Amino acid sequence: MSDNGLGDKIKAGVNKAKGEIKDQVGNAKNDPGMQADGKMDKAKGAVQEKIGEAKDRH
């Protein structure tokens, strides 16, 4: 079975959404730690998205 980038893109979407929620809740609660966690999740999602796109090209 070939490993296309779909799985990575799905994980990316989940991490980006989870990160956005953490970032917004952290902002609302004035919780810099939660905001930082959210930003890290969004960054992780962005990297996973690029990996998925690279796999699709090959």
The pLDDT tens digits for 1-58 are 456 889 999 999 999 999 999 999 999 999 999 999 999 999 999 999 999 999 998 7
> DSSP per residue over 23-53, as a string?
HHHHHHTT-HHHHHHHHHHHHHHHHHHHHHH
Task: Give domain status of residue 1, yes or no.
Answer: no
Task: Give domain status of residue 52, yes or no.
Answer: yes
Q: Are 44 and 35 in contact (CB under 8 A)?
A: no
Task: Supply the pTM of this predicted model.
Answer: 0.84
Task: Give domain status of residue 23, yes or no.
Answer: yes
In this predicted structure, what is the pLDDT of residue 3?
66
What is the tally of structural domains in the chain? 1
Angle between helices 32-57 and 6-28 (to 10 degrees): 160
Q: Which domain holds residue 34?
A: 6-57
Task: Give domain status of residue 16, yes or no.
Answer: yes
